[in-house]
Structure 1
Amino acid sequence: MKSDNETCVQKEYAQLAQKYDDKWHFYIEATQGETLKRVELNAGERLLDIGCGTGVLLETVEKSYPDAVLAGVEPTQEMLDIAYKRLSDRVQLEQSWASSLPFEDETFDVIVSCNMFHYIRQPRVALKEMVRVLKPAGRLVLTDWCNDYRTCQIFNLFLQVFNKAHFKTYRKKECHKLLSLSGFDHIKIDCYKINWFWGMMTATAIKGVSVQR
C-alpha cells in the first residue's frame, strides 16, 4: 500500500508531466549538467538513473556513451510515458520507487540521481538499495537541494507545511553522514548555486569495501 507521500508525489508529477521539461528547462539543464560533469563511463558499463523523470538525463548519457547499458526508474507513469518516447528501446525503464529497486544485486557500475532525494521519507533505505544494486566499487552521483543555503532552508520549511509530497532537504554534513552510514566510502560533496535562489549539492561516493562481496 502506498503512503500518502508517495500518492502525493505521483499526483503532483502526473499533473506536471506534459509541461515539466518546458517549465523547468533552466533548472533541469543546470542541475543535470552538474551531475553529468561527475559521470564517466567505460565501454559496456551499466548506469541506473533513479528518479529519471522524462528521461532528459538518460538521453544525454545515451548520446555521449553509445556503448553503455542504461536503465531508469521513475514512480510516475505519466513521466515515464514521455521518457519512453524520448529514449531508444535499449534503455530499460521501470516504474519503481528508490526504496525498492527492481534489479538483482550488483547490477550497475554507476547510479545517478538528480533532484529526487528530498522526496524520500526513508533515505537510508533508499541509499542501502543503491548500495545493493551497485557492483563492487560502484559509483554514485547524487544531486539535490542543499539546506546550507538560506533560500533552501526557507523553501524547505514552506514545502513541509504546504506540500505533502516533499519530505526534507539536507545540509552537506547530514548528507555525508547518511551516505557513510548507508555503506558508501570516498564521499565528496560540492555545494554551489545555479542562480540566486537554488542552492544545490552534488555528492559522489563509492560503494564501501565493508559491503563488497
Structure 2
Amino acid sequence: MTMENHSTPVQEEYTILASSYDRRWDFYIHATIQETLKRITISSQASVLDLGCGTGSLLQQLAAQYPTVKLSGLDISAAMLAIARQKLPDSVKLQTGEANELPFPEHHFDLVISTSVFHYFQNPEKVLQEITRVLKPQGCLILTDWCRNYLMINLLDRWLHWVDKAHVRAYSIDDLQKILIESNFKLLSIDQYRINWFWGLMTIQAARGDIAA
C-alpha cells in the first residue's frame, strides 16, 4: 500500500513524540502491556499483528515470551517504527500503513492486538472490517483502550476534542460492544479496570462472528 502524500494529525503528532515517547509514557506503556498480556493465549506457531504498534514495546514483550510466533507490526508513523526497529529482532516484520487499509492478504493472522489506538480511528467500522478480512476464520481480536465509563476518561475525552486534532473519540463499554457486534464480531470477554487513579481502561476479546461454527 502506498501512503498518501499529506500527513494526518496522528502522523504529525507522533512524529514529534517519537523520540521521547517511551520515556514520557513509561508507566502507561508498561501497565497497559501487562494488562493486555494477561488476557492473551497464543499458540507457538501463531501469526500475530500488533495494529498501531508504535515504538514496538508490546512486540518486544511478545518476542521474548513467544520466540516461535510470527510477529508483525503496523503503524501510521514512520518515526515511531524507526524506534521500534532498534528494539526488535529482524524476525519481526514492521510496516507503515493505515488501519482502514491493511497491507496484508486475507486470512493472514491468528490474532490482531490493538492497544491504546482505537480512539484515534476516524472510521472504526472500516478498521474492524479490515481486521476481519486479515484474520483467519477462527482468529481473534484483543482490543485494549481507554474506557469512557470512568469519570477521568470522560473528562479527558471532552478536553481532547478541543485541543488535539488527532483524537477522535473515547468509547464506553456499551458503545464498543455495539460497534463490535455490528461489525460481526462475537464477544468473548470484557474487562474494565484501572491502572492508577486516572487511567481507566477496558480490554475486549472478540472472535470473527461471520464464520459458522
Task: Report TM bin, short chain.
Answer: over 0.9
Contact in 2 for aligned 1:176/1:187 (Cα 8 Å): no
For 2:12, the aligned partner's letter is K
Q: Distance in 1 between matches of 2:168 and 2:212?
A: 31
1:187 Cα deviation after fit: 3.4
1:71 Cα deviation after fit: 0.2
Q: Given the two structures, how large is their TM-score scaled by the length of structure 1?
A: 0.95
Q: How does 1:186-197 map to 2 (within 5 A)?
A: 186-197=187-198
Is there any run of 5+ residues in structure 2 with no aligned partner, and where? Answer: none
Report the equivalent of 2:176: 175
Report the equivalent of 1:51: 52
1:40 Cα deviation after fit: 1.4
Contact in 2 for aligned 1:136/1:212 (Cα 8 Å): no
1:3-62 per-position Cα deviation (integer Å, ceiling 9, x unaligned): 99x611111111110110011000001111111111111121100000000001001000
Is there any run of 5+ residues in structure 1 with no aligned partner, and where? Answer: none
| Count of residues in Structure 1 that have an aligned counterpart in Structure 2 | 211
Report the equivalent of 2:21: 20
Contact in 1 for aligned 2:47/2:70 (Cα 8 Å): yes
Q: Distance in 2 between matches of 1:121 and 1:29?
A: 26
The two structures, once aligned, show a CA RMSD in angstroms of 1.7
For 2:159, the aligned partner's letter is F
1:38 equivalenced with 2:44 (yes/no): no
**Identical residues among aligned pairs (%):** 43
Segments ≥4 residues shifted beyond 3 Å:
1-4
Structure 2 SS opposite 1:81: helix
Q: Distance in 2 between matches of 1:43 and 1:200?
A: 28
Contact in 2 for aligned 1:183/1:211 (Cα 8 Å): no
1:103-156 per-position Cα deviation (integer Å, ceiling 9, x unaligned): 000000011010000000100100111111000110111000000011111110
Structure 2 SS opposite 1:80: helix
Contact in 2 for aligned 1:147/1:153 (Cα 8 Å): yes
For 2:184, the aligned partner's letter is G
1:211 Cα deviation after fit: 4.2
1:186 Cα deviation after fit: 3.1
1:91 Cα deviation after fit: 0.7
For 1:145, the aligned partner's letter is W
